């Protein structure tokens, strides 16, 4: 994919999209813009995934517009969204000569979502960027055009798929926050049982991991602080400085019985050590279950603290890691004490 980007290979247009961390812009592979450095590039399967993670559509290759002819009023509409300080209402659209119903139909047909849902995704996306740098939720909400923090919370919940009416009010919500690290921001979630989610924000299938978490804990996910998250933040800081070898923050990782066995076995792999999938399969009592063990490893929702990165191929290859193999490598180097003097 990176080669397609550097060669501006338009035959990959539509197959994937890429975002550039330093500019916050995302493009089609064939875009004529200057080649970004590999470590600044993130890849997305679809354009909305890039929008949801805070990337702004490139003005040159217009990655949100389906290839082929895009009606001029749709171009106009994308421009309006990017320029608007807040949410565009139906009367804003009418004032620009765009019929709201027509806009709604076009978005439904091309993105399978309403125009308002698109605007929300775009605004939450841009809201995520300052959250990554540690701004608090209320100032982010105001700066990104939400009238109030509750508006932001509601939009956040919709983005993460919460369905407040279906959740028993007695269930304690899960608090979600962002933790910046040298390897990129982590999305962390906790409630009183413990830390229940920790993933790099650009990991593969982040949305489906969040959906699974919600199903498993049956609770709302709302932005906010929690003592477990505060503890995690300070432990992670020491971990990345090479001064912490094991985490003490409690972990709450409900899964299938098999997944829970694998995840608890993972926690027995010491800092600085690795195991192969086969060794892990033997440890959970079934040497033939290598593939199932690898799948459970991949479904771990608590990166780093449940150290799925310490599992490698039998030949020593790093193989897959949802947060990217480069992160797996950096984590293992850090733990072996070879990463400090780069
Ligand atoms: Zn572009």
Residue ranges per domain, the chain?
A: 2-119, 129-158, 164-240, 257-336
Q: How far is CA 4 from CA 42, 115, 278, in A?
A: 13, 31, 35
Reported as a single tens digit per residue, the pLDDT across 106-161 is 888 776 667 877 777 676 666 555 444 444 444 555 555 555 556 655 655 555 55
Q: How far is CA 191 from CA 54, 57, 228, 236, 321, in A?
A: 26, 35, 8, 18, 26
- From the CB of residue 159, how many other CB atoms can be counted at a distance below 10 Å? 20
Q: Give yes or no for residue 275 having a pLDDT over 90.
A: yes
Mean pLDDT for all residues in the chain: 80
Which residues partner with 175 through β-bridges?
Answer: 190, 222
Q: Which of 27, 31, 58, 61 is catalytic?
A: 27
Give the per-residue pLDDT at 108. 80
Q: Which residue has the higher pLDDT, 12 or 125?
A: 12
- From the CB of residue 168, how many other CB atoms can be counted at a distance below 10 Å? 7
Q: Give yes or no for residue 296 having a pLDDT over 90.
A: yes
Q: Please say if 31 is a catalytic residue.
A: no
Q: Which of 31, 61, 196, 308 is catalytic?
A: 308
Give the per-residue pLDDT at 32. 75
Q: Which residue has the tokens 């001064």?
A: 243
Q: For 33-37, 104-108, 112-116, 322-326, which range has the lowest pLDDT when averaged over its residues?
A: 112-116
Q: Give yes or no for residue 163 having a pLDDT over 60.
A: no
C-beta separation of 47 from 64 below 8 A: yes
Q: Please say if 308 is a catalytic residue.
A: yes
CA of 178 from ligand 1 middle (Å) equals 28
CA of 316 from ligand 1 middle (Å) equals 38
Give the per-residue pLDDT at 154. 61
CA of 133 from ligand 1 middle (Å) equals 25
Give the pair of three-digit tokens for residue 64: 């949100």
Q: Give yes or no for residue 306 having a pLDDT over 70.
A: yes
CA of 158 from ligand 1 middle (Å) equals 29
Give the pair of three-digit tokens for residue 297: 């490893």
Across the beta sheet with 174-179, the strand order is 194-200, 186-191, 174-179, 221-223
Give the per-residue pLDDT at 341. 42
Give the pair of three-digit tokens for residue 58: 């490139």
What's the longest Cα–Cα distance across the chain?
Answer: 67
CA of 57 from ligand 1 middle (Å) equals 7
DSSP 280-314: HHHHTT-TT-HHHHHHHHHT-SBTTTS-GGGEE-T
- Local structure of 252: helix, strand or coil: coil
CA of 17 from ligand 1 middle (Å) equals 10
Give the per-residue pLDDT at 300. 94
Q: What percent of the chain has pLDDT over 90?
A: 31
Please list, residue by residue across 75-96, b when 16 or more beta carbons sit within 10 angstroms of its beta carbon and e when fewer do: eebbebbeeeeebbeeeebeee
C-beta separation of 120 from 127 below 8 A: no
Q: Give yes or no for residue 219 having a pLDDT over 80.
A: no
Q: What is the mean pLDDT of residues 214-235?
A: 84
CATH class of 2-119: alpha beta
Give the pair of three-digit tokens for residue 320: 């897959």
Give the per-residue pLDDT at 153. 58
Fold classification of 257-336 (topology level): Arc Repressor Mutant, subunit A (1.10.10)
CA of 11 from ligand 1 middle (Å) equals 15
Q: Which ranges constitute the DSSP H helices of the chain? A: 2-6, 47-52, 72-83, 90-95, 100-111, 115-132, 137-143, 149-159, 206-217, 227-240, 257-266, 277-283, 290-298, 325-336
Reported as a single tens digit per residue, the pLDDT across 83-106 is 877 788 899 999 989 988 888 888
Give the per-residue pLDDT at 152. 56
**164-240: CATH architecture:** 2-Layer Sandwich (3.30)
pLDDT band at 60 (very low <50, low <70, confident <90, very high): confident
Give the per-residue pLDDT at 13. 78
């Amino acid at each position: 994919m990176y080669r397609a980007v550097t060669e501006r290979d338009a035959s990959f247009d539509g197959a994937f999209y890429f975002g550039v961390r330093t500019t916050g812009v995302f493009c089609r592979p064939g875009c004529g813009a200057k080649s970004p450095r590999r470590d600044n590039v993130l890849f997305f399967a679809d354009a909305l995934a890039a929008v949801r993670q805070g990337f702004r559509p490139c003005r040159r290759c217009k990655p949100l517009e389906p290839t082929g002819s895009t009606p001029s009023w749709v171009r106009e509409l994308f421009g309006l969204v990017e320029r608007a300080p807040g949410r565009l209402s139906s009367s804003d659209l009418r004032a620009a000569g765009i019929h709201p119903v027509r806009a709604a139909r076009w978005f439904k047909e091309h993105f399978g979502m309403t125009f308002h849902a698109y605007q929300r995704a775009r605004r939450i996306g841009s809201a995520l960027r300052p959250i990554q740098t540690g701004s608090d939720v209320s100032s982010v909400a105001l700066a990104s055009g939400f009238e109030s923090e509750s508006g932001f919370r509601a939009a956040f919940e919709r983005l993460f798929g919460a369905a407040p009416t279906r959740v028993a009010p007695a269930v304690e919500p899960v608090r979600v926050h962002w933790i910046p690290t040298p390897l990129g921001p982590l999305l962390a979630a906790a409630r009183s049982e413990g830390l229940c989610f920790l993933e790099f924000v650009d990991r593969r299938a982040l949305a489906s991991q969040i959906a699974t978490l919600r199903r498993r804990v049956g609770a709302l996910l709302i932005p906010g602080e929690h003592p477990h998250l505060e503890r995690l933040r300070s432990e992670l800081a020491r971990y990345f400085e090479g001064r912490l070898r094991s985490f003490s923050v409690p972990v709450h990782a409900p899964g299938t019985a098999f997944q829970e066995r694998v995840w608890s076995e993972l926690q027995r792999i010491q800092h600085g050590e690795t195991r192969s999938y086969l060794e892990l399969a033997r440890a959970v009592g079934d040497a033939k279950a290598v593939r199932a063990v690898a799948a459970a490893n991949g479904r771990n929702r608590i990166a780093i603290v449940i150290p799925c990165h310490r599992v490698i191929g039998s030949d020593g290859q790093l193989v897959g890691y949802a947060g990217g193999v480069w992160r797996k490598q950096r984590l293992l180097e850090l733990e072996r004490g070879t990463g400090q003097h780069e």
